[in-house]
Amino acid sequence: MKIIVNLDVMLARRKMKLKDLAAAISISEQNVSLIKTGKVKGIRFETLAKICEVLDCQPGDILEFSNAAE
């Protein structure tokens, strides 16, 4: 079981660069990159809400649950 982060997909759909998203939500590019690659243990709801607002999407568009064995 794991959570898959589809932030890169949403950025591509919105034709937005990582650095532009980082600037829009006032978070460092490095931290947004860590979120994008799924290398974080958690994300604040406030940060998720800002990302959703900027990308005009729902949390489920960014986060996905997978029950598949690795």
Q: What is the pTM of this model?
A: 0.89
Q: Identify the residue whose tokens are 């860590």.
A: 34
Is 80 exceeded by the pLDDT of residue 70?
no
pLDDT for 17-57, tens place per residue? 999 999 999 999 999 999 999 999 999 999 999 999 999 99
* pLDDT, position 1: 83
**14 phi and psi angles, rounded to 5 deg:** -90, 0
Confidence of residue 69 (pLDDT cuts 50, 70, 90): low
Q: Which two tokens stand for residue 1?
A: 């079981």
Choosing among 1.10.260.40, 3.20.20.80, 1.10.10.10, 3.90.1150.10, the CATH entry for 2-66 is: 1.10.260.40
Distances (CA, A) of 36 to 27, 57: 13, 15
pLDDT for 1-21, tens place per residue? 889 999 999 999 999 999 999
Distances (CA, A) of 45 to 8, 12, 50, 59, 68: 19, 22, 9, 10, 26
